[in-house]
Amino acid sequence: MEFFNKTGKVAVGSRLRMLTEKITEDAAKIYEVYGIGLQPKWFPVFYVLSAGEEKTITAIAKEIGHSHPSVSKIIAEMGKKGLVAEQKDKTDGRRNMVSLTPKGKEITIKLQDQLLDVNAAIEAISAQTTHDLWKAIEEWEYLLEQQSLLSRVVEAHKKREAAKVTIVDYQPKYKAAFKALNEEWISTWFKMEATDYKSLDHPEEYILDRGGHIFVALYNDEPLGVCALVKMDDPDYDYELAKMAVSPKAQGKSIGWLLGQAIIEKAKQLGAKNIYLESNTILKPAISLYNKLGFKKVPGRPTPYERANIQMELDLRS
Amino acid sequence: MEFFNKTGKVAVGSRLRMLTEKITEDAAKIYEVYGIGLQPKWFPVFYVLSAGEEKTITAIAKEIGHSHPSVSKIIAEMGKKGLVAEQKDKTDGRRNMVSLTPKGKEITIKLQDQLLDVNAAIEAISAQTTHDLWKAIEEWEYLLEQQSLLSRVVEAHKKREAAKVTIVDYQPKYKAAFKALNEEWISTWFKMEATDYKSLDHPEEYILDRGGHIFVALYNDEPLGVCALVKMDDPDYDYELAKMAVSPKAQGKSIGWLLGQAIIEKAKQLGAKNIYLESNTILKPAISLYNKLGFKKVPGRPTPYERANIQMELDLRS
DNA sequence: TATATTTGTGTAACTGATTACGTAATTTAT
DNA sequence: ATAAATTACGTAATCAGTTACACAAATATA
């Protein structure tokens, strides 16, 4: 299919479907040629029953990977043709025990030849290919079980978006953004406190001039995230990670992560032995980000903020 | 899927279907996440239209490998959402020209990002596999186009059946079969002639004792085919292939082919320079077999048989 | 022991494709 | 110029699966 060369691999789904269709179409004809009176779609069910044991509908469904209504329907159809017998389980009234009838077993024998021939034909095709379809499917099944396609795509999206984000040093022109981004989340969850106004209205005096740093995350030259590294006057801690704020419209771009990384990098450059932070457990994504960055919870300390109910630290020496 | 390890490759169809399903299921979710308002099944249609040109329903169907009703339905759905516009062709009243609306074109741009991410995710999966699914599908598509699965299976069947056939030298116990098998086809198509009775009732005297040979094809020890190599008293020809007969219930076992091969082999051993035969053009499969064996039509010669209307020879020296 | 939860199954409705068929417009052949 | 064949396309029915839901039976829990 010329078409698929253009679209690229996004169309694996469509392409797989078409190959599947072609094969099942021929499968139907093959069953007809051998005149066994078995519908191709019955095959998986028939196959598991051919071992001889009685099985329940759900057990069959689980084994062949179909939904149970699908098996239920197939069994009904096969029953009509006299290939299977259904019987309620005596000890468990819910169970419908299914097994092959003598007529069904007869077909098992006839089917052997067909299976041999189909297998031979498929092996012959495989022998002519340099890429093994069977094994490739197996690998895909495994990998998709590890992580779904969806979450892989989301991951790819984040990675690509993150590449568009640049982290830069604070400049006076970002003053408004620094305040606005912080005010946005603070007033959403809590209310602005006096200490907030001090540092947000005067970042130069209260943060930079005292040996701190501020980073700004730009996306298309627009400041969508900010974060400060504040020098602390404390025997236990050198710096505090504070005023981390990311615009809600910039979700999924890893801005928080990139800002955190920049802050940690800067602290290391400054020879800090650790970083301290205060937050609130109501801010789940924030706490989860801090965890990912390596911060650990520590016992509470005095704080000027009402909203702080959790303290964390990152040890830079380990 | 454990199940597929048991069934062997007969179940490629089922297995492919399940992988396809898993992928398309996630595809649906992916479209949802990106919030583009495009249904996954619309993608192929959307894609070909995104080039910008107006296209007819059937042209799209052909390009993406769907049936035209499928495209017709998809276009109707997309039309309802205002993504495509339909317009009757002025010069050809049958044609329904379809193109993207401005709204549809807008989506094209939004879709770019999604395609990038999905492609990246799939490439990431591919990178982790040792067997390339994409290329494997391509190979299968190609090989199935060359020869359908059905005809490959039929071929495998013939080959397997042929392996069960053994060609043996004539023995007195096959005398009845030699006559019966020949009488069967002769009286079906023509009527038995005096010359027939001579050689069928007395094969030893009329064929073997005069330097000829008879081969019998056995299937499960049952004689289902016979053929004679008769010494000729003729300056042009050494031997005649005659009394070839295969039971109609033994179709698809290549018995004719195997007998023919044995006869030719024997003639070569005997140092014959050629083999002659007479037949009737009404016997299509026989003539086709003789052709496959290498016999060529030659001008008519005197013959004791009324039914002969074609003569052929095989040159063993070339 | 009474209640809640889980399990096994069947029915109904949906889905994304197909084939079959009908109709109208166009093209080809006589 | 007319008849026959082909082409474009829509509608209906079908197919092989699915999910959603209902209900009874069995099991777990308070």
Q: Render pLDDT for A88-119 as a digit per residue (tens, 0 to 9).
A: 888 888 899 999 999 999 999 888 888 889 99
Q: How confident is the model at residue B22 (pLDDT cuts 50, 70, 90)?
A: confident
pLDDT, averaged across chain A: 90
- Contact (CB, 8 A) for A22 and A95: no
C-beta atoms surrounding B256 within 10 Å:
23
For B231, phi then psi, to 5°, come to: -70, 135
If one compares B265 and B32, the residue with the highest pLDDT of the two is B265
CB-nearest to B47 from A7, A33, A148 is: A7
Domains and CATH numbers, chain A: 34-146 (1.10.10.10), 159-315 (3.40.630.30)
3-state secondary structure of B95: coil
More reliable by pLDDT, A252 or B202: B202
Q: Which long-range contacts (CB under 8 A, 24 or more apart) does B59-66 make?
A: B60/B98, B63/A2, B63/A3, B64/A3, B64/A14, B65/A1, B65/A3, B65/A18
**pLDDT tens string B137-164:** 889 888 988 888 888 998 888 888 888 9
The full length of chain A comes to: 318
Percent of chain A with pLDDT over 90: 57
Mark A297-313 as b/e (b = at least 16 C-beta within 10 Å). eeeeeeeebebbebbbb
Q: A91: Cβ–Cβ under 8 A, 6 or more apart, which residues?
A: none
Taking 90 as the threshold, does the pLDDT of residue A170 lie above it? yes
Is the per-residue pLDDT at B288 higher than 90? yes
DSSP letter (8 states) at residue B172: G
Residue A183 has pLDDT above 80, yes or no: yes
Q: Tell me if residue B317 falls in helix, strand or coil.
A: coil
Residue bearing tokens 């799939």: B122
- Strand D nucleotides in reach of protein CB atoms, 7 A cut-off: 7-13, 15-20, 24-27
3-state DSSP assignment of residue B230: strand
Residues 143-202 of B with CB under 8 A from A: 143-144, 148-150, 152-157, 159-160
Comparing every residue's Cα with the C1' atom of nucleotide C7, the nearest one is: A94
Question: A245 CB contacts (<8 Å, ≥6 apart)?
Answer: A181, A182, A184, A185, A225, A226, A227
B74 in Cβ contact with B90 (< 8 Å): no
A116 touches chain B (CB under 8 A): yes
> With an 8 Å Cβ cutoff, is B67 touching chain A?
no
The answer to whether the CB atoms of A120 and B160 lie below 8 A apart is yes
Where helices occur in chain B by DSSP H, the ranges are 2-7, 12-34, 43-49, 57-64, 68-80, 102-128, 133-146, 149-163, 175-189, 194-201, 203, 255-269, 284-293
Residue B35 has pLDDT above 90, yes or no: no
Say if the Cβ atoms of A129 and B136 lie within 8 Å.
yes
Q: CA(B53)–C1'(D7) in Å? A: 21
Question: Which residue, B287, B204, B197, B207, is CA-closest to B239?
Answer: B207
Indicate the average pLDDT of chain B: 90
The pLDDT of residue B1 is: 61
Higher pLDDT, B28 or A85: A85
Q: Sorting pLDDT into bands at 50, 70 and 90, what band is A302?
A: confident
Q: Of A22-31, A141-150, A152-161, B262-271, where does the model show the most confidence?
A: B262-271
**Calpha distance B55→B75 (Å, rounded):** 11
Given CB atoms, is A68 within the 8 Å cutoff of chain B? no
Please state whether beta strands A239-246 and B274-279 pair in parallel, antiparallel, or not at all (unpaired): unpaired
Contact B152 A124 (CB under 8 A): yes
Give the model's pLDDT for residue A127: 92
> At B34, is the pLDDT very low, low, confident or very high (cuts 50, 70, 90)?
confident
Cα–Cα dist B137/B12, whole Å: 12
Contact residues for A50 (Cβ-Cβ < 8 A; gap 6+)? A100, A105, A108, A111
pLDDT over 90 (residue A14): no
pLDDT value at residue A1: 60
- What's the whole-number mean pLDDT along residues B260-274? 94
Phi and psi for B315 in degrees, rounded to 5? -85, 120
Question: How many Å does it take to go from CA A2 to C1' C20?
Answer: 28
Question: Greater confidence, B305 or B266?
Answer: B266
Residue B287 has pLDDT above 90, yes or no: yes
pLDDT at B12 over 90: no
Q: Which residue has the higher pLDDT, A6 or A56?
A: A56
Q: Which of residues 240-299 of B touch A (CB under 8 A)?
A: none
Cβ distance B139 to A131 less than 8 Å, yes or no, reads yes
Report residue B251 as tokens.
Answer: 């179709």
A147: pLDDT strictly greater than 90: no
Q: What is the pLDDT of residue A17?
A: 84
A47: its two tokens: 């196959």
pLDDT classification of A250: cutoffs 50, 70, 90: confident
A69-92 tens-digit pLDDT: 999 999 999 999 999 999 988 888
Distance, CA of A83 to C1' of D16, in Å:
20
Residues of B in contact with A131 (CB under 8 A): 131-133, 135-136, 139
Q: Is B222 exposed, middle or buried (0-12, 13-18, 19+ CB in 10 A)?
A: exposed
B63 near A CB under 8 A: yes
